[in-house]
Amino acid sequence: MSNSKGLGRGLGALFQPIDVEDGDETVHEAEISELRANPYQPRKEFDPDSLQELAESIKQHGVVQPLIVRKSIRGYEIVAGERRFRAAQEAGLERVPVVVRDFTDEQMMEIALVENVQREDLNPIEMARAYQKLMEHLSITQEELAARVGKSRPHVANFLRLLQLPPEIQEDVSRGTLSMGHARALLGIKDRDLMKKLAEKVKKEKPSVRQLEEWVQQLNQSVPKKEKKKKKAADPFIKHYENMLQQVFSTPVRIKHGKKKGKIEIEYYSERELERLIEMLNRDQVMTD
């Protein structure tokens, strides 16, 4: 596991103030051709208008804040400052100011994520994929990830749930044609084909999130009355136990209760989190033996 937990308190935990007189921290210039983007950069799209504005500013004032980089076989990898790098290219610069620092791959990934999260530069799907990638790469749980990036666990869980959407709907969210609120409401539909049809209806009619939630509720209630009554009678008890289990395991839990049998579904988002859940279940089993 990474030792870079300080990132949860912000980029300042690793990005100390730059002192141009301080030995290895000296700002120097690097050729644009020597620089490569952070391979762990979760951000895939950069607003062209915003980049153009920054490029115009750079033409007039230069790159005011040095890029943070680390050495690589072919030159340097950008740790932070890819937007400035792209704008400098747009402005026609051949060299940019950099500060060389030593970072591990884990730190590179975490810094790229935290930088974008704190500046809210990622679209919801990019954010969800970045969270997922970071959890898998660092073998950490949702709670540990939330602490790292300075967010609540429910916040992280809500983004990760977006990855349960069909690829077509994820693309809509990425493009901004479907909001995260609408996407979360669509997750209430279990039938994926029906979910896709409803997503198209949302894009055409543009209902509020509240209205969409009502549509989802109506669709879910379109079941035989007898079955609906039985489910409704059990709901308060099932909901109570779901909430209780969610508090115990710190992750979403669903109970599907039938007439004579049922099943419990416990969500996890990384191997590390699965191991944590199994350890908890094994510990409880030992205590009852």
Eight-class DSSP state of 95? E
- The catalytically annotated residue of 77, 82, 110, 273 is 82
Q: Does residue 82 carry a catalytic annotation?
A: yes
**Residue 190 token pair:** 């279990």
Q: What are 91's two structure tokens? A: 């402005």
> 234 burial class (0-12, 13-18, 19+ CB within 10 angstroms)?
middle
Q: Indicate if the alpha-carbon torsion angle 105, 108, 114, 120 is positive or negative.
A: negative
The β-bridge relationship of strands 28-31 and 35-36 is unpaired
For residue 33, which amino acid is it? S
**Rounded CA separation 123/145 (Å):** 18
Residues annotated as part of the active site: 82
